[in-house]
Amino acid sequence: MQTHLVGRDMITPDEWTDDELNTVFDVAFDLKRKRALGEPHALLRDKVLAMLFFFSSTRTRVSFEAGMAQLGGHAQFIESKTTQIAHGDTAKEIGEIIGRYCDGIAIRQVDWGVGNQYIRDVAAASRVPVLNMQCDWYHPFQALADMLTIFERFGRDPRGKTLNMSWAYASSYQKPLSVPQSLITLATRFGMNVRLTRPPEFKLMPEIEDLARENARKAGGSFEVLDDFDAGFTGADVVYPKSWGATLTTTDMEESKQIAGKYSDWIADSRRMALANENAIYMHCLPADRNIEVTDEVIDGPQSAVYDEAENRLHVQKAVMALTMR
Query: Looking at the predicted structure, is the pLDDT value of residue 87 above 90?
Result: no
| Alpha-carbon distance values, 58 to 61, 141, 253, 310 (Å) | 6, 14, 23, 11
Q: Same structural domain for residues 17 and 82?
A: yes
Q: Same structural domain for residues 108 and 191?
A: no
Instruction: Say what percent of the chain tops pLDDT 90.
Output: 95
**pLDDT per position as a tens digit, 30-39:** 999 999 999 9
State which residues form the domain around 162.
140-309
pLDDT of residue 252: 92
231: in domain: yes
> Span 218-240, mean pLDDT?
98
Q: Same structural domain for residues 76 and 216?
A: no
> Span 216-229, mean pLDDT?
98
Q: Could you tell me the pTM of the whole model?
A: 0.98
Q: What is the CATH number of the domain that holds 285?
A: 3.40.50.1370
50: in domain: yes
Q: Same structural domain for residues 168 and 257?
A: yes
Q: Same structural domain for residues 150 and 293?
A: yes
Cβ atoms 250, 259 nearer than 8 A: yes
pLDDT of residue 86: 85
Q: 3-state class of 322 per DSSP?
A: helix
Given the DSSP bridges, would you call strands 281-282 and 130-135 parallel, antiparallel or unpaired?
Answer: unpaired
Q: Same structural domain for residues 261 and 159?
A: yes
Query: Looking at the predicted structure, is the pLDDT value of residue 325 above 90?
Result: yes
The residues pairing with 224 across neighbouring beta strands, listed in sequence order, are 195
Question: What is the b/e burial string over 17-41, where b = at least 16 CB atoms within 10 angstroms of the residue's CB?
Answer: eeebbebbbebbbbbbeebeeeeee
CA 310 to chain centre: 10
